[in-house]
Amino acid sequence: MSPPSVVQNNAAAKTAVVPPFDLAVLLLLLGFAVMYLPTYYTLSQSAWGTDANGHGPMILGLCFWLLWRERKEILAPAPAAPVAGAVFLLLALACYVVGRSQALDTLEAGSQILTLIAMLLLLRGWSGLKKAWFPVFFLIFMVPLPGVFTQMLTLPLKMAVSWCAEFIMHAAGYPIGRSGVILVIGPYQLLVADACSGLNSIFTLEALGLFYMKLMDYRSRARNVLLAIMIIPISFVSNVTRVLALILITYYFGDEVGQGFMHNFAGVVLFSVALLLIYGFDHLLAVKFDASSSEPIREVRA
């Protein structure tokens, strides 16, 4: 007969190697996959192929990675909330059915957020939902933007980008004029199209900025809020920089060069400028917040 200490050590060892998954978790994950894999396929054939929602797969992958990264904390034993979970599940199913049947991508894709909330409540209650709040919230950036909302913001942004580009080029001495969102420089006319409004980059960069803050795990709420707000003007400045680059390329090298490879490469310039500005602004914030005792240095988990 084994001594009690040996038995206890063996029991502890067995408990330590048991993964944080049980039959209920596996069944819910299987149901989620069966329910939303057709949705992802539909999005890949429609919304994800556009400039406005091309970042969707990236956001989805990062969200699932965050959930996997924090699975031990999220799936730690906690009392379930079956009533609240059932309510959210019924609401998610209603949104899914209506969105799927009526080809409403926003409603269909958005229902997965409600489904994840329902799963967490059914498995680990409000405690599990609280621990997983960021990945669930982050999934919002994957949902295709409604067309009405996009059109409402696109025109003012295009006008603002056109005005800033004209003002800067005119101040630099270039022969440029503007009529609405059409810029005329030398013999060339350039239309600031919807893709050049910067709306897409604002949402993408805001998502990447929030993901960056999550990885850095800053404890100061003020620092997080300031950085999140500053991403919006940084996105706008980066988009104006992209338009200026295309104007100069067209002016010096012709319309074919400006609308060819360099037009697509200008998108890389946009994100490079934006990420450098975000990183620089974060370092400026570090001068204040890292020197404060309320902002201890946090270790970034891989």
Q: Each residue of 74-102: pLDDT tens digit?
A: 999 999 999 999 999 999 999 999 999 99
Residue 17 pLDDT > 80: no
Residues of the domain holding 69: 12-144
Is position 2 within any domain? no
Q: Which pLDDT belongs to residue 264?
A: 66
In terms of domains, do 171 and 121 share one?
Answer: no
Q: Which pLDDT belongs to residue 15?
A: 42
In terms of domains, do 184 and 128 share one?
Answer: no
Is position 195 within any domain? yes
Residue 39 pLDDT > 90: yes
Among residues 69, 196, 298, 301, the one annotated as catalytic is: 196
Residue 295 pLDDT > 50: no
Q: What b-and-e string marks burial along 13-51, b requiring 16 or more CB atoms within 10 Å of the CB?
A: eeeeeeeeeeeebeebeeeeeebbeebbebbeeebbeee
Is position 266 within any domain? yes
Among residues 124, 178, 223, 242, the one annotated as catalytic is: 242
In terms of domains, do 99 and 152 share one?
Answer: no
Q: Which pLDDT belongs to residue 260?
A: 67
Q: Which pLDDT belongs to residue 120?
A: 95
Residue 195 pLDDT > 60: yes
In terms of domains, do 48 and 104 share one?
Answer: yes
Is position 6 within any domain? no
| Mean pLDDT, rounded, for 269-277 | 82
Is position 43 within any domain? yes
Q: Which pLDDT belongs to residue 153?
A: 82
Q: Where is the domain boundary, 96, 129, 144?
A: 144
Q: Half-sphere exposure (CA, 13 Å, Cβ side) for 183?
A: 29
242 is catalytic: yes
Residue 220 pLDDT > 90: no
In terms of domains, do 217 and 232 share one?
Answer: yes
Residue 159 pLDDT > 60: yes
In terms of domains, do 120 and 169 share one?
Answer: no
CA dihedral angle for residue 240, residue 241, residue 245, residue 251, rounded to 10 degrees: 50
Nearest to 242 by CA among 281, 210, 205: 205
Parallel, antiparallel, or unpaired for β 176-179 and 182-185? Answer: antiparallel
Q: Which pLDDT belongs to residue 83?
A: 96
In terms of domains, do 187 and 273 share one?
Answer: yes
Amino acid residing at 100 = R
Is position 302 within any domain? no
Q: Which pLDDT belongs to residue 292?
A: 58
Q: Which pLDDT belongs to residue 261?
A: 61
Phi, psi of 182 (to 5 degrees): -105, 125
100 is catalytic: no
| Mean pLDDT, rounded, for 112-125 | 95
| Mean pLDDT, rounded, for 129-148 | 91
Q: Where is the domain boundary, 120, 144, 168?
A: 144
Please name the residue that has the structure tokens 């080809």.
Answer: 103
What is the 3-state secondary structure of 171-197? HCCCCEEEECCEEEECCEEEECCHHHH
Is position 72 within any domain? yes
Token reading at 285:
């914030």
In terms of domains, do 138 and 16 share one?
Answer: yes
Rounded to the nearest integer, the mean pLDDT of the chain is 83
Residue 237 pLDDT > 60: yes
In terms of domains, do 56 and 70 share one?
Answer: yes
In terms of domains, do 47 and 119 share one?
Answer: yes
In terms of domains, do 276 and 178 share one?
Answer: yes
Q: Where is the domain boundary, 144, 176, 193?
A: 144
Confidence of residue 1 (pLDDT cuts 50, 70, 90): very low
In terms of domains, do 154 and 285 share one?
Answer: yes
Kindly tell me the sign of the dihedral angle through the C-alpha atoms of 219, 221, 227, 232.
positive
In terms of pLDDT, which residue wins out, 207 or 22? 207
Q: Which pLDDT belongs to residue 279?
A: 87
The number of folded domains in the chain is 2
Is position 7 within any domain? no
